Amino acid sequence: MTDIHPDLTDTEWSFETTAVQTGIPRGLGQTVGVPIHQAAAFQFTTLEEAQDEFARNQGLSYARLQNPTVRALEERLTALEGGAATVALSSGQAATLTAILSVCRAGDHVASTASLFGGSAGLLNNILPLMGISATLTDNTPDAIESVMQPNTRLVWAETIGNPAGDLPDLSALAEVAHAHGALLGIDNTWGGVGYLCRPLDFGADIVAHSLTKWAGGHGSVMGGSVTVGTRHDLTRNPIYTDGGENSVLSQRGAAALAWRQRWLGAHQMGMTLGPQNAFLLAQGLETLALRLARESETALALAEWLEAQPQVGRVSYPGLPSSPWYALAQKYLHGGFGAVLTFEVPDPAAFLSRLQVIRIAPNLGDTRTLVVHPWTTTHGRLPEAARRAAGVTPQTIRMSVGLESLEDLQADLAQAL
């Protein structure tokens, strides 16, 4: 076990203060907000400086690797998640792929859950096998994950809140299972709101990934993703890091090995780099995330309670409802709200959707506007029927990401559409 940058983790600032203050230097003439550095390359004044930077890749040279605007966003994400380091990338998919490849190579295995974002399931089922990496998707309980662990399992991968079922894994128990097998626990914390609702690193996770496209950006206007590593993780049983003895990645990079490899893979080598304009929008989005997600969670809970009382509505799933099988885990792992997403069943989804006048049909989450989809035929439509049902999707299911409209207007729209 290694402690890296412990100074970053014991900030006494709240989420709200961190979100608006981190990543902006103080000083005469400095911008008050995050400035946009619209530049592909950065200068050296001597050959020695250039050689040093190319050897270490720690500073600024070429924007595929690092850009000051992207770095400001990364500092903010690291602080909000209580981690050691972050690499920001061009999308959530780029982040998931980078997180997995940072600890897996040909011949390795990932243990994951069936209750996953469709694109993540696609990576595990379709893309990783192209590289000789296998994955098993099972229930998100610690027992189910334990039963699929193999000697070559390097990563356990799950989501803070499953999409769209609203199911929560027991994070601490999953961390124990992963670590007992010498694997790491990676959590897609997109639905955890970049640490606002949940900080998986505090519960034993080693890696958190995000689609910043959702609540971080928060306005449905920009794509992005990120991978943050925690301050403690054990790589001594992963040959990617230990092969080569004194020349191994672990010997060479020490406690920063995992963060180094993620930037090297995702940005430097694969080029899934985030642009400075998008980094600016995402950093700005983070500044209001707490306000938005608190309000959206409040409205989502009120709508879930109201929907549960409507005779035309079938099963309502929301982790903040006492009727949810995940209510106890939600009490343990979430704070500040239960999130902005709920699902409910209506008898005739096509008719229901066509009658909506405020709520829009669109496949995004975390927008300021309330958005709905029919997962059975859209977001999860390419999965086999059994996999769709395992993810909590039926032909009647509607998934709703609650925005910032008033509760009264949303409730009235749902009432007339029902």
Beta carbon nearer to ligand PLP, 93 or 98: 93
Q: Interacting stretch for ligand PLP, rule CB under 6 A, among 21-29, 55-63, 90-98, 230-238?
A: 90-98
- Among all chains, which residue has been given the structure tokens 């610690």? 142
Rounded to whole angstroms, the Cα distance separating 96 from 155 reads: 12
Helix/strand/coil (H/E/C) assignment for every residue in 314-368? CCEECCCCCCCCCHHHHHHHCCCCCCCEEEEECCCHHHHHHHCCCCEECCCCCCC
Site for ligand PLP in 150-179 (CB under 6 A): 159, 163
Residue whose C-beta lies closest to ligand PLP: 92
Burial of 231 (0-12, 13-18, 19+ CB in 10 A): buried
Binding string, residues 184-203; x marks residues near ligand PLP by CB under 6 A: ----x-xx------------
Beta carbon nearer to ligand PLP, 320 or 375: 375
What residue type is 344 in one-letter code?
F
Q: Answer yes or no: are the C-beta atoms of 65 and 58 closer than 8 Å.
A: no
Rounded to whole angstroms, the Cα distance separating 20 from 277 reads: 18
Give the residue among 97, 112, 319, 83 at the shortest CA–CA distance from 206: 83
Nearest 5°: phi and psi at 365?
Answer: -130, 155
Binding string, residues 45-84; x marks residues near ligand PLP by CB under 6 A: ----------------------------------------
Binding string, residues 116-135; x marks residues near ligand PLP by CB under 6 A: -x-xx---------------
What residue type is 302 in one-letter code?
A
Q: Report, in Å, the least distance between residue 209 CB and ligand PLP.
A: 8
What residue type is 32 in one-letter code?
V
Rounded to whole angstroms, the Cα distance separating 162 from 343 reads: 12
Binding string, residues 204-243; x marks residues near ligand PLP by CB under 6 A: -------x-xx--------x-x------------------
Site for ligand PLP in 243-282 (CB under 6 A): none
Give the residue among 149, 265, 246, 248 at the shortest CA–CA distance from 207: 265
Site for ligand PLP in 353-382 (CB under 6 A): 365
| Residue from 23, 82, 83, 92 in contact with ligand PLP (CB under 6 A) | 92
Beta carbon nearer to ligand PLP, 117 or 241: 117
Could you tell me the two tokens for 297? 């969670």
Beta carbon nearer to ligand PLP, 140 or 163: 163
Q: Based on the shown chain and the rule CB under 6 A, indicate whether residue 91 belongs to the binding site for ligand PLP.
A: yes
Q: What is the dihedral of CA 199, 204, 206, 212, to 10 degrees?
A: -20
Residues in contact with ligand PLP by the rule CB under 6 A: 91-93, 96, 117, 119-120, 159, 163, 188, 190-191, 211, 213-214, 223, 225, 365
